A and B are shown apart, each in its own frame.
Chain A
Amino acid sequence: MSPRPGVVLEVDRSTPPTLFWHGEGFRLEKLPVGSRIVYAPEPVSPLANPDSAIRQALENPLGDSAPLSSLLRPEMKLTIAFDDVSLPLPPMRAPDVRQRVIEAVLQMAAEKGVDDVQLIAALALHRRMTDDELRHILGERVFNAFAPYGLLRQHDAEDPSNLVHLGFTDEGEDVEINKRAAESDLLIYVNINLVAMDGGHKSVATGLSSYKSLKHHHNVRTMQHSRSFMDMHHSELHTSNWRMGKVIADAGVKVFQIETTLNTDTFPEQFRFLQRREWEWALADRAGFFASSRALERTPPGLARKIFHSIKAPHCLASVQAGEVGPVHARTLEHVHRQQLVTVEGQSDILTMGLPFISPYNVNSIMNPILVACLGLGYFFNLYRGRPLVREGGVVIMSHPTPWAFNPVHHPSYIDFFEQVLAETTDMFEIESKYETTFATDPWYIHLYRTGHAYHGVHPFYMWYWCAHALSHLSRVIVVGGERAAVRRLGFSPASTFSDALEMAEDAVGRNPSITHIHTPPLLIADVQ
């Protein structure tokens, strides 16, 4: 039986309460009659034999690319770059799809006698991963074969000796990427396209670049003109990356792109109710929900966080394609859309969302208030194609505890950004002009980024800019159940209950507003007609 497509449910009197994620917990909320709930399509069927599919993709590349085996030769310099721990969410059960692909590539390289092989984690300005995280992504065999010999590296965007400036785009954007990658005879990029935003030229042009390069597209203007990030044809972020991709290709960097998509089988058996539509909950789902909720109510937040971050998703490989970047990515997007696209008729006055415990930037860490804002307004708001789910001047209501809490090892500059910059202003352009350079060049943040497990000093700015489109579009953002001081520091309005939030929203959108709830995760893209 083929998986069911996504659906838009109109709430009536018989509709059961709707599950909202609420950080490391859940809330059941009764949406007003007439509200719409957008549900993701069910997970597509996985590839029956993923290893065989991977080999097939490598040998039958798309676009203007020869089969991988014919690109490999003994004396060549080969670099394999791969996406970091920010993908997929939650992290997938072993073996990770990157392990499968890289093992296949290495097998092929070994058969062809390639000796000079390095692996590079494409961190961009993300934190360095721990050995355990790398082991999980690459598997023990690959890790043990490369890491002890210094052949498994994590891209260092602040190491001038290992960056090379390849030139400028037509728009005058610097293109500076990892030197080893640029000077290799072949650069193989192994990606996971969890959402439509990932992949394509963004993989190399962003993942292996420096602040000098990134700042050309990670800025307020670009973010405001990316409508949405999930629709590359209307995303200035992607347009800039594609320009950079051309410069990279023109500089002679030969990229063999391997993109994968996963199905949306997101939660293990004990959390299976999270994957189901509430009116279809079986007794076991209801029991699972109540048992989990009760247990979480009595669990200290730190422990609850540990429990949730230990979840390994049963994601399965849904597609793999390899070859030239453009054609590969076009095929990848078809697969992402097949899995995630849901047609929605028109916009609403209010968009509601429940925010989970995890975002790309707090794997094994704390979802601090800036990441809450980014997940809600940067990611979930942008899960659309065409037009946003909420009308201009509308309201977003999101549910999350939003604790005033930070991981000082992962997010040191976030603390300063929140406590000092946002205390002064929430205005994006003022923040960008007044503070960004100082944070980006701060030697302490650079030290922690290079030697510890810290996000780059400029990263909280990007998370804030990520909200730019939403904040210029909306008249109000309300957070249900959030720590009030933290919510206010973000410039949002705190509400104790969902009904309070609806009442507050009426000030902006009037009485009897139309409401849409985006029921995610699992992930979806609303194709708003």
Chain B
Amino acid sequence: MKALVFERQLARFAASRLVSDLSGSGRGVGVGPLELLEVEPPELPGPGWVRLEPRLAGICGSDIATLDGRSSRYFEDVVSLPFVPGHEIVADVRGGPKDGERVVLEPVLSCTVRGFEPPCDPCRRGERGRCERISFGALAPGLQTGYCADTGGGWSGGLVAHESQLLAIPEEMSDEAAVMIEPTACAIHAALRSERAQAGRVLVLGAGTLGLLTIAALRSAVSPSLLVAVAKHPEQRRWAKRLGADYVVAPAEAVRATRRLTGSLALPVDGSVIARVTGGLDVVYDCVGSHSSLASALSVVRPGGEIVLVGMPGPVKVDLAPLWQREIALRGAYAYGTEQTATGPRRTFELAAELVATAGLEELVSSTYPLERYEEAIAHAAAAGRRGAVKVVFDLRRRGDRRLGGEKENR
């Protein structure tokens, strides 16, 4: 089968980093450590495992950061090479009693998947994203499918998955909708990470896929009193408004807009510029994860407020003096698991499937590419906002094997 394989090739890794630095994110794939190869399907690791044949597999911001060579070295111990990327997956089960069933994969490789019994404390509570054993057990290290040498990934003709990772999707849900469930689950988990957001004034920094989904999740699951979105590109602004932002502002206007919308004072006192507000927002969801986005977040969050890091950060250099002086909480939001809701604990993926259906999030899938055109696909995904796109996915379906939802622009 064909698979895009990310291998340990330091020279190509450096070349990719260099080209992406010079030419822009996603441009270094051709010289990087990702190659389209003919490979054997991964072995089934044991009982409870099934084979999956991907239908659609999304390209995520964290994938692009990895391909650009920008992801943190922190991840070196929680991934194993070579791996096949792709963790946003809608697939068909092949073989076993569930043969032919259409499923979405919950990619976290937690205790149950790794064969640990009893599971670690977070896993026992259903908090799979916080699993303490993602580098141990029956599988090679890997925090998720798509970063583990043993499981394969979505950017291929086949992978393996543990039954506990699967969520069956209803017949009426399109593949395009289903492929949005994983990133939507991330957004819901992030939205619910801060209690201050409930009826609070929040701002979402960044309007890529994760930012837009966070807006949708906040609007549906949290009900803030004020929801401001910071979006750079026209299509992003349109989506942010449609998904429930009260106000959408350009990045350069974020501090000024925050000041006005919160009735805050600002510094410096003479008003010649507005560098930061003295009051501000209860919660800022940083869906970018860069040093500048974190600095922006710190300039608009109120004393005692909270910043939720939703976008995957790397090493950042940022002045934490305001965090200290204003007693701001900085909280990570990674993956998903189980959420506490008014009706009791719910699996984040189930909540995500509901939100995708009710909010029409399948429309966020802007373009699909065959695996063979992976360089174009990744370049497109890396420049999605600028090019008027949101989510770019690989289409691995055989001709005539598309389910519902119709065909998007297939490039």
Contacts and interface: CB of A to CB of B under 8 A. Distances in A.
A415 interface: yes
A443 interface: yes
B260 A447 contact: no
Contacts of A442: 260, 263
B265 A447 contact: yes
A402 to B, nearest CB: 19
Interface string A381-420: 0000000000000000000000000001100100110011
Given A443-B265, A444-B264, A454 B249 contact: no
Interface in A442-460: 442-444, 447-448, 451-452, 454
Given A420-B247, A420-B249, A452 B263 contact: no
A15 interface: no
A408 B273 contact: yes
Interface in B225-255: 247, 249, 253
A130 interface: no
Contact of B257 (A412, A420, A444, A447): A420
Contacts of B257: 416, 419-420
Interface in B197-214: none
A420 B259 contact: no
A438 interface: yes
A443 B262 CA distance: 10
A438 B266 CA distance: 16
Contacts of B274: 408
Contact of A415 (B256, B269, B270): B256
A443 B278 CA distance: 12
Contacts of A454: 271
A106 B310 CA distance: 68
Contacts of A412: 271
A420 B230 CA distance: 13
Contacts, number: 45
A420 B265 contact: no
Given A442-B260, A443-B263, A447-B265, A420 B271 contact: no
A356 to B, nearest CB: 26
Interface string B296-310: 000000000000000
B271 A419 contact: no
Contact of A444 (B265, B272, B273): B265
A412 B265 CA distance: 12
Interface in A423-455: 438-439, 442-444, 447-448, 451-452, 454
A452 B274 CA distance: 14
A438 B271 CA distance: 18
A416 B271 contact: no
B253 A420 contact: yes
B234 to A, nearest CB: 12
B237 to A, nearest CB: 10
Contacts of A419: 249, 253, 256-257
A147 B17 CA distance: 64
A452 B256 contact: no
Contacts of B266: 444
Contacts of A409: 270-272
B273 A416 contact: no
Given A420-B247, A442-B260, A443-B265, A408 B271 contact: yes
25 contacts: A408-B273, A408-B274, A415-B256, A416-B256, A416-B257, A419-B249, A419-B253, A419-B256, A419-B257, A420-B257, A438-B260, A438-B263, A442-B260, A443-B263, A443-B265, A444-B259, A444-B265, A444-B266, A444-B271, A447-B265, A447-B269, A448-B270, A451-B269, A452-B270, A454-B271
Given A451-B269, A452-B270, 5 more contacts: A419-B249, A420-B257, A438-B260, A443-B263, A444-B271
Question: Shortest 8 CB-CB distances between A and B: which pairs?
Answer: A448-B271, A416-B260, A444-B265, A412-B271, A409-B272, A419-B253, A408-B272, A452-B270
